[in-house]
Amino acid sequence: MKIILASASPRRQELMKLVCGSFKTVPADIDESIGDGVLPMDAAELLARKKAEKVSEDHKNSVVIGCDTAVIVDDIMLGKPLDDSDAYKMLSLLSGRKHKVVTGVCLKYGELEESFSAVSEVEFYPLTDEEIIEYVETGEPKDKAGAYGIQGEGSLLVKGISGDFFNIVGLPAARLKRELADFIKRIEENPED
């Protein structure tokens, strides 16, 4: 069975290698606005579905996996920073506090679709202005939800985590491996589904 990861993220692609040995990458070109009325905790799963559905349009005979990650603090969703100033504001907001990292995942094959969200909690050390500026100047926050990458220098900001580490990086690999196996089994047992 052909598997497609609907993501341009190099971090997700590396983690996907743990889930299955053979897959293709087809980034999803979608409008990532979520609209009114969507709760922050539901946004990542909604965007994951949009990505999987978009890529699935041209790949009906493949299992398409869409993913999206959101950082949430005080019921506010932090996306990727617009610039260094925005990154500084996000990191200041996270300083000395706990926040949630939610990764939504959608599996799609033809009309069959399943999705789930994985949630981890991250606590930051209290950060000085100098620490935040120094980290922003590394450039690492630019393309990361919440303006940090836990797998890089951003790890030095983190006091502790609860939940799946890989979920914080952007793909809950252990859970996805199990969900994908069940999804493929369902397709094979019910090809008309």
CA dihedral 190, 64, 178, 161 (to 10 degrees): -150
For 88, other C-beta atoms within 10 Å of its C-beta total 18
Pairing of strands 112-124, 98-109: antiparallel
Burial of 7-42, coded b for 16+ CB within 10 Å and e otherwise, reads bebebbeebbeebbeebeebebebeeebeeeeebbb
SS3 call for 34: coil
> In the annotation, is 164 catalytic?
no
Count of residues in the chain: 193
- For 191, counting Cβ atoms within 10 Å of its Cβ (0-12 exposed, 13-18 middle, 19+ buried), the class is exposed
- Which one of the listed residues 68, 74, 84, 86 is annotated catalytic? 68
CA distance 3 to 156: 35
For 188, other C-beta atoms within 10 Å of its C-beta total 9
Residues annotated as catalytic (active site), given as ranges:
68
